[in-house]
Structure 1
C-alpha cells in the first residue's frame, strides 16, 4: 500500500547500531578470556582474524561517545561467553563481568539503551571439544551462563536476544570460518545442534521471565522474504518451501513452541530430523 501521509516514528523508537563481541572487541586472550570456536576457526591466510578487530575492548568509551554523537538511541552488542565463564561453566571471571558492566554503564551515561545478545557464534572452545551444540550438556551450560548474565545485568538491561542468526549457523555452517581440520558437520548433526539450541533457548527464556520480569527477550533470526522467479506454480512452491526452511522452521519453534509441519516433514523425509527425547516438546512449549 502507498500511503498519502506517512506517520512519524514514535519518540521512543530505538534507532541504533549493533556489533558482536568477536567482530569488534579483539583482546582475545586478555583478562581471563578463553578461546572460542571463532578464535580457533581456520581462515584463509590473506584474511584477517579477530585477535584485534576494532579494539573495542580497549576503546569502548570513545566508541560509545561516537555513538552518542551520531544520535544513536540503542546499542546492541553481544557478550562473549568466554569472558564470563572461561571454562564454559563453573567459575565466573570477574574481569569479564566488569568489562560488560562498564559497557552498559557507558551506554546509560549517554541515554543509549543497551540491547544484549547472549550468543553470537562464539561457543567456548572447551565446550566444542566436548561435542559443542551436538552434546546435550551444552544446553545446561547455556542456561548456567544465562543465569550469570541475568544476575549481573538484569537490573540494568531491559532488552535481550538469545541466539544470533541460528538459521545462518545451521544452513551456512562454513560462512564464518571452518573448524580445525576443515570438515563441516553433516546435515543430520546440524539439525541436532539446532534442536539443542532451541531447547537451550526455551529454558533460558523461561528463566529470564522469572528473573527479569520487566524485561523483554527473543531470538535474533536472519529472516527474509522469498519471491518466485516466475508465476509458474513450481516456482511459487519452491519459494514457499525455501521460506519455510529458511525462516519459519526456526521462528515457529521460538514463537509457538513447535516445529513447522512442512519443515518437519522435510527433515523426516530426508532422514535428517533430530532425535527427540522425552520432555523435549514440552520444554519447547515453555
Structure 2
C-alpha cells in the first residue's frame, strides 16, 4: 500500500545520524586528547585491515559541506555526538576551549540550515586518561560523566532541543568489556558487570544533570540497541528459554532500571553477583529517570539457540549465513520487520516515553558509476523500514522520528571502512562526497513522492 511523508504527521522528525569518532577525524587537532578507540586501533589485528579513524570522513574540517548536503536532502534534524576527549582531554579538569568552540560552531551551522541538532553525549570515545583510572569499571565514572555533561549543557543548552545521554550502552559495555572486540578490548565478566552497572547509573545521573541545566523545552533521552529475537527451534523448551534470557540481556537490561523495575534478575540469575558486589544502597532509586524519549536503534533480528558454553545467558545467536537468509555486509539478516516488533516491545512498558528511531540502516556494496552511486538494496531497506515505522504508528505506538544510520559513510568500528551505511558516499582517498541513489530516494520521499514498501524479500 503506498504511503507518503504526510502519513507520519507534521511533527515527525526526519533526520540522519552520525558519531564523532566515526566521522570527525582530526584526532590530534586543536587540543583534543586521545580516546580508548585511538588506543584500540593501534593494536595489530583489532581492526580489519588495521585501519584507523585519524582522518575518517574529515567531518571536523568538512562539517559545513556535509550539513549543506543534509539540508539538500530535506532533513529536519541531524543527530551527532560530542567527543568527550575533545572538550576534556584528560576526561576531567582543564577544558579545551577550542574543542567546545567546534561544537558551538557545529550547532550554529545546523540551526542556520534549519536542522535541529540532537546531541549524543557519549558515543563510545572515552578519554584514554579515564580508562587508565579504570574507565567504566570504576564507579567514579558516574561523577566524571556528570561533570562532563554539565559542561557541555552549559555551553550548548540554549540552542540544542534534543539530547541523548548514552549511545547503546549494551554494545559499548558488552563488546568492550566482555567480548573484547571493541575498545577498551577487555574480556572479563567482572569488568562487564561493573561497567554495566556504572553505565546504568551514569545514564540516569547524566540525565539529571541535563534536567538541572537545560531550559524547560529541552527533550532528554537515551538510546538502546535492540534486536527482535526468535528461537531457532520454535516450541523447543531450551531454545525458548534461551531466547528469553537473551532478550533480558540484549533488550531489557538498560531499559527496565530507568523505569524502576531493576535488572531482569529472574531471567538472568547470574546478575545477583552484580547486585551483591557492585550495587550499593540507594542505587536502584538512582537508576530511575523519567526520560522524555527513548532512542530505538535496530538493524536486524537475531535467532537464538541454547548453548551450554556461554555463561550468563546460555544462548548463542545463529548467523544469518548459516540460516541461508539474505544478509548485509555486517552479516546481519535483512529483516526490516524487526523494527516494528521492537517499537511495539518498548511501547508496551507502562509509562514508556515517546520513541524515536535514532538508528536504522544497512550496509551493502555500492556500485560507483562516475558521479552516481547505485545502492538498490540499501534503498529498498530504507523504504521497507519506513513502512515498518508507519505500521507501528498505525498500531498506536508513539514513535516520533526516524534517523537513518548514517548520513555519510564512516569508520565502522572494528570493521574499519569496509561496510558502508551512508546515504552519502565518501571516497576516502579524495574525501569527495556523492549522494547515493538511496539518499536521492529519501530526498524525493521527504519532498512528497509516495513510496510503497517492498513485498518481496530484499
Which of 173, 191, 194 is 1:192 aligned to? 194
CA distance in structure 2 between the aligned counterparts of 1:30 and 1:141, rounded to whole angstroms = 23
1:61 pairs with one of 53, 59, 64? 64
* 1:29 partnered with 2:33: no
Alpha-carbon distance in structure 2 between the residues aligned to 1:126 and 1:257 = 34
What is the number of residues matched between the two proteins?
A: 279
Comparing 143-152 with 197-206, which one deviates more in the overlay?
197-206
The alpha carbon displacement at 1:236 in A equals 2.4
Quote how far apart the aligned CAs of 1:80 are: 0.2
Q: Report 1:24-173 matches (<5 A).
A: 24-41=23-40, 42=43, 43-44=46-47, 46-173=49-176
- Answer whether contact 1:198 1:284 (CA < 8 A) is retained: yes
Residue segments in structure 2 that go unaligned for 5+ positions in a row = 290-458
**Contact 1:36–1:124 (CA under 8 A) maintained in structure 2:** yes
Contact 1:115 1:161 (8 Å CA) reproduced: yes
Residues 84 and 127 in structure 2, CA contact (< 8 A), matched pair in contact too? yes
Check if 1:9 corresponds to 2:26.
no
Residue 206 (structure 1) aligns with: 208
How far apart, CA to CA, are the structure 1 residues paired with 2:226 and 2:13? 20
Q: In the alignment, is the contact (CA less than 8 A) between 2:244 and 2:267 conserved in 1?
A: no
Q: Is the 8 A contact 2:20 2:83 kept in 1?
A: yes
Preserved contact between residue 187 and residue 272 of structure 1 (Cα < 8 Å):
no
The question of 1:243 aligning with 2:247 is answered yes
**Are the equivalent residues in 1 in contact too, given 2:121–2:164 (CA < 8 A)?**
yes
How far off is 1:177 after superposition?
3.8
| More helix, by proportion | 1
Q: Which secondary structure does the structure 1 equivalent of 2:121 belong to?
A: strand
Q: Which moved more, 1:139-148 or 1:246-255?
A: 246-255
Give the secondary-structure state (helix, strand or coil) at the position aligned to 2:79.
Answer: strand
Unaligned stretches of 5+ residues in structure 1: none
Q: How far off is 1:214 after superposition?
A: 2.0
User: What is the TM-score of this pair, normalised by structure 2?
Assistant: 0.58
C-alpha contact (below 8 Å) 2:31/2:96 kept by paired residues? yes
Map of 2:235 onto structure 1: 232
TM-superposed CA distance for 1:83, in Å, is 0.9
1:249 and 1:263 in contact (8 A); partners too: no
TM-score in terms of structure 1 length: 0.90
3-state SS in 1 of match to 2:13: coil
SS at match of 2:7: coil
Q: 1:147 aligns to what SS in structure 2? A: helix
The offset of 1:45, in angstroms, is 7.1
Q: Is the 8 A contact 2:16 2:75 kept in 1?
A: yes
Question: CA–CA distance in 2 between the matches of 1:168 and 1:103?
Answer: 27
Q: RMSD of the alignment, in Å?
A: 2.1
- Are positions 1:260 and 2:259 aligned together? no
2:53 and 2:261 mapped to 1: Cα distance? 36
Q: Report if aligned partners of 1:34, 1:86 keep a CA contact under 8 Å in 2.
A: yes
Q: Give the Cα–Cα distance (whole angstroms) in 2 for the partners of residues 98 and 154 of structure 1.
A: 14
| SS of equivalent residue, structure 1 residue 52 | coil
More strand by share: 2
